[in-house]
Amino acid sequence: MTSPTVTTDMSVIHLFTNASIAVQLVMLLLLLLSLFSWIFIFQKIWVIRATRDKTEEFEKAFRGIQTGADLNDLLQNAANHGTEAGTLERICLSGYREFARLRRQHGLSSATVMDGVRRAMRATYQRELDQMEAHLNFLATVGSVSPYIGLFGTVWGIMNSFRGLANVGQATLANVAPGIAEALIATAIGLFAAIPAVIAYNHFSRDVDRLANRFESQMEEFQNLLQRIPSV
């Protein structure tokens, strides 16, 4: 007596709908993590590109400064930009405002004034850097935990498959393959979520570090320029 032919639909949708509740929840969680990762990736691409462009524009204008009046015009233009001002513009503007405020106070030494300028710029620099690094920790977390979440779903699915074989008189590939395929999809989705997140995290971290170095260099040049201005 021949056993009946077992036909199985191995499409991803069919395997998902026929997976156990635990495996389905794992897959949905991984898809949700992947969705948020891609949202943050595209957002970060736009933010870093805009920051880089505005930084280059400000550096070019800064190199053309000859007098204190030129500096005042440059920073007044930055102040007029409001929320559209670039990161470097906001850092230098905070330092210039503190410089002007302290210079109006009589009896303060040049070292005291410049120390206040340095603290104001450093505080703004740190706030801006924190904003640029926003969501990077999320990408790092997704990249590190998603494979393990997927592996959990795979292990759970394979356990269910082997438990199901206990009720089958004769185990065949047709009996085993669907359950294993359902389980392995969880690992595949975990890798799909993790790989772009890891690549994006490494890329954006490098970009942020490069911009941070440019900001620090420009901050030093800006402070040196303020020290050469006799009056504002």
In sequence order, what DSSP letters do the residues of 119-135 get, joined into one string? HHHHHHHHHHHHHHTTT
SS (H, E, C) 17-65: HHCCHHHHHHHHHHHHHHHHHHHHHHHHHHHHHHHHHHHHHHHHHHHCC
pTM of the model: 0.79
Cβ(232)–Cβ(69) below 8 Å: no
Whether 14 maps to a domain, the answer reads no
Q: What does the pLDDT read at residue 170?
A: 64
Token representation of residue 63: 């190199």
Q: Assess if residue 58 is contained within a domain.
A: yes
**Residue 1 belongs to some domain of the structure:** no
Distance CA 91, CA 120 (A): 8
pLDDT for 7 equals: 43
Rounded CA separation 90/154 (Å): 50
State the pLDDT at residue 66.
Answer: 61
Structure tokens at 191: 């890798």
4 domain residue, yes or no? no
Ranges in the chain, pLDDT < 70: 1-12, 14-16, 18-19, 66-69, 82-83, 164-179, 230-232
Map residue 74 onto helix, strand or coil. Answer: helix
Number of domains within the chain:
1
Cα separation, 202 vs 24, in Å, equals: 30
pLDDT of residue 106: 79
Per-residue model confidence (pLDDT) at position 11: 65
Say whether 201 sits in a helix, a strand or coil.
Answer: helix
pLDDT at position 232: 43
- Residue-range definition of the domain harbouring residue 125: 20-227
